Structure 1
Amino acid sequence: MLRILVSGHIPAGIDSGDHERWWIDSPQALQQHGPTLRDLLSQKITEFEQLLDREAFKQRLSNGAPLPGDGSREAALAVLLADEGPSVELDNVLGRLHDPGSTFTRWANMHAAGQRDGAGGHPSRTEAGSS
């Protein structure tokens, strides 16, 4: 049985009923719905592929543009900003997460500091660089 996680509208005949998965469970269903499923997956891949350009992804996150999938826009933006080093913008984004003591916030700040110091923010590299 072919199962694929998706989001959005699911055409009749492929809908699993919970709108979170598609499945095709027979050769006949594959013949009947395979081309539609292939086209829908191709569209999804195109949506996500655009996000591989870090600057384009950062712009979409910053501007509130629609994104495929679920997840925290603020956390994704914080990761991209942390890669650029400490900044007021990163501080603002982390502040909007309302969780200053979280593991993620500590990681983002440490990673940003590592980028500034040239250590890449990885604890072992930071410690190795200070000895």
Structure 2
Amino acid sequence: MVGVVIVSHSAKIAEGIKELALQMAKDHPVFTAGGTQDGGIGTDPMRIQEAIENADQGDGVAVLADLGSAVMSVDLAKEMIEPELSARVFLANAPIVEGSIAAVVEASLGSSLDKVLQTAADAKNMNKE
């Protein structure tokens, strides 16, 4: 099973996205790393590392992030985890809200990591007219 990690500068945003996603895919392994250790706005590579390790179910982890420095923190977190796991962790090129929901639903269907990442990325093309 593919795990999902949601990384945001805000713990409230990360938890809110998780709550939305789990409305459509209950009990799927979704973990968040929002905000800093002291509850502030920002990202923390150690919190992201822990979320990735918790999300790993053996089939890989899709990570979704909100802003540029979150992407840098994800990269740092990947450097801190075991190489075998790091090789199965990928940052989705996707919008954080739509991409996270799409990724969680796809992962809950038992899809491969590649399919989960592609489904998340496809959320960029969602027509909102």
How would you bin the TM-score normalised by the shorter chain?
Answer: under 0.3
Relative to the length of structure 1, the TM-score reads 0.24
Return the structure number with greater strand share: 2
Q: Larger relative CO (CA 8 A, sep 6+): 1 or 2?
A: 2
Relative to the length of structure 2, the TM-score reads 0.24
Return the structure number with greater helix share: 1
Answer with 1 or 2: which has the greater Rg.
1
